[in-house]
Amino acid sequence: MAHLEYKNVTVPIIVQTVGGDLRLRGRDDSWLIVDGDNATVEQLGEGQPYVVRCGSDARITVPNDVDVSVQNVGSDAKITDVGGKTDVQNVGGDLIVRGTGDIQIKTVGSDLRVKRVDGNITLETVGADATIREVDGSVWVANIGSDLYMRNIAGSCKVEAVGSDLVLSLDFIAGQEYYFNAGSDILCRVQPDTNARLILPLDTEVRLDVPAEIEEDADAKQQIVTLGDGSATVHIQNAHMLRLVGEGEEFMINFGIQIEEELEARLSSLEEKLSTQLDGLDERIQAKTAQFASQAEKFAERAQRQAERAAERVRLSMERQSRKRKPGPRRVTVSMQADTPKRKNDDPVSEQERLMILKMVQDNTISIEEAERLLAALDN
């Protein structure tokens, strides 16, 4: 495994090709550090960008104030703590984004999870599910293949196409306009003091769990749902059903998020400890420890995806139950044990994974308690 270091880097960085997984994170100093098999780094000229290429997995740290362009990643990618502008052209698998500035994403082959963006998001295509949370700017989305969940977006939103369900937990801001188009249902959680006017087709079914007024427009072509004084405008171009719920649905919407944050916190702690172990080691030991770190991340992220799928099953079960009830203001409760179908683990923990975790305990890389938690997360 190659280990390359460059100091005093102040120009943009282009990650041209990564054949496997990419882990890219920002750092507080001016160093560019690349670890990966067959990795190469080339500066195009004085004052010009650095170009990084890697034939398989790559771990890259960059100064957190430079612009970064990721052109092609063969498998999964994780980008964290990059303060400059970020441009992602193509990721073949899943993409995780945490703590960035303005970001443009062209194509993600599988799932996308975005959290804590200090700027705007421009997103073209996601092959499966997407989660977008804690954005200080505006969001524009062209196409999501399956479900989309959006929460705490400070600016305007435009979502041109969602293949399946759309779940919204937004504070609609007075004077802002929002556009949504979903292939199936839209579930929207609103605050008691929400002021919004939702304009949608007449053939879209509307279910209200909060006080609101429904009327047809003058041409009898659309229906308008008004909350409060209607100072924010929400355009819904297509959906089978729109359901507005209040704070009583917070548990349902946040269940998957709570699981995600707990696993993310454990993973971040584990990654930090593993990264610390790299300092002062020779290249051979660095390569082996970095391999353990990459494997641990994959295992924990796989467990996180399993937990998210379980939360989605709970949500769908609750939605099926809600459709059997009569419309009108109500409060929904959930029994986790009764509503969650049992499902055999698709990815049981292998003996190799257990031995790898025990090896990290033996090397004092992680504690026994952390190993037990990681094994429990994988088993469940």
pLDDT tens for residues 128-166? 999 999 999 999 999 999 999 999 999 999 999 999 999
And the tokens for 77? 């990618």
Out of 176, 195, 214, a domain closes at: 176
379 vs 80, higher pLDDT: 80
Work out the average pLDDT over 30-54.
92
In SS3 terms, the chain reads as: CEEEEECCCCCCEEEEEECCCEEEEEECCCCEEEEECCCEEEECCCCCCEEEEECCCEEEEEECCCCEEECCECCCEEEEEECCCEEEEEECCCEEEEEECCEEEEEECCCEEEEEECCCEEEEEECCCEEEEEECCCEEEEEECCCEEEEEECCCEEEEEECCCEEEECCCCCCCEEEEEECCEEEEECCCCCCEEEEEECCCEEEECCCCEEEECCCCCEEEEEECCCCEEEEEEECCEEEEECHHHHHHHHHHHHHHHHHHHHHHHHHHHHHHHHCCCCHHHHHHHHHHHHHHHHHHHHHHHHHHHHHHHHHHHHHHHHHHCCCCCCCCCCCHHHHCCCCCCCCCCCHHHHHHHHHHHHCCCCCHHHHHHHHHHHHC
Give 343's pLDDT tier (boundaries 50, 70, 90). very low
Same domain, 320 and 308: yes
Same structural domain, 38 and 152? yes
State the Cα–Cα distance between residues 18 and 74, nearest whole angstrom. 6
- Judge if 261 and 184 occupy the same domain: no
The pLDDT tens digits for 297-330 are 565 566 555 555 555 554 555 555 555 544 443 3
112: nearest Cα among 263, 61, 103: 103
Q: What is the pLDDT of residue 316?
A: 55
Q: What is the pLDDT of residue 380?
A: 62
Q: State which residues form the domain around 375.
A: 249-379
Q: Which residues pair with 87 in a beta bridge?
A: 69, 104
Closest to 37 in 3D by CA, of 357, 281, 288 = 288
Between CA 356 and CA 360, with CA 358 as vertex, the angle to 5 degrees is 75
Q: Are residues 19 and 142 in the same domain?
A: yes
Please state, in angstroms and rounded to a whole number, the distance separating the CA atoms of residues 380 and 366. 20
> What is the reported pTM?
0.70
- The pLDDT value recorded for residue 341 is 40
* Residue in 119, 130, 62, 64 with CA at minimum distance from that of residue 94: 130
The domain that holds 73 is classified in CATH as: 2.160.20
pLDDT at 234 over 60: yes
Tell me: do 48 and 95 sit in the same domain.
yes
- pLDDT score of 332: 34
What is the chain's alpha carbon radius of gyration, rounded to the nearest angstrom? 23
Same-domain check for residues 230 and 265? no
Residue 72: which residues within 8 A CB-CB, separation 6 or more? 16, 17, 18, 89, 90
pLDDT over 70 (residue 257): no
Residues 276 and 308 in one domain: yes
Same domain, 314 and 364: yes
Q: Are residues 77 and 216 in the same domain?
A: no
Domain boundary among 205, 223, 245: 245
Quote the tokens at residue 293. Answer: 């770190």
7 & 148 share domain: yes
Q: What is the pLDDT of residues 173-208, one digit of tens each?
A: 888 899 999 999 999 988 888 899 999 999 899 998
Residue 305 phi, psi dihedral angles, 5° rounding: -65, -35
Euclidean distance between CA atoms 36 and 60, whole angstroms: 9
pLDDT at residue 244 above 50? Answer: yes
Domain count, the chain: 3
Instruction: Identify the residue with better confidence: 219 or 58.
Output: 58
Whether residues 161 and 194 share a domain: the answer is no
Domain final residue, candidates 215, 245, 275: 245
Residues 185 and 82 in one domain: no
Name which of 273, 297, 274 is nearest 286 in CA terms.
274
For residue 241, pLDDT beyond 90: yes
Beta carbons within 10 angstroms of residue 24's beta carbon = 25
- Of 209-218, 247-256, 339-348, the one with minimum mean pLDDT is 339-348
pLDDT score, position 279? 47
Side chain identity at residue 56, one-letter code: S
pLDDT tens by residue, 363-377: 667 777 777 777 777
C-alpha neighbours within 13 Å on the C-beta side of residue 17: 10
CA nearest to 296, candidates 321, 258, 263 = 263
pLDDT of residue 175: 85
Place of tokens 């303005």: 102
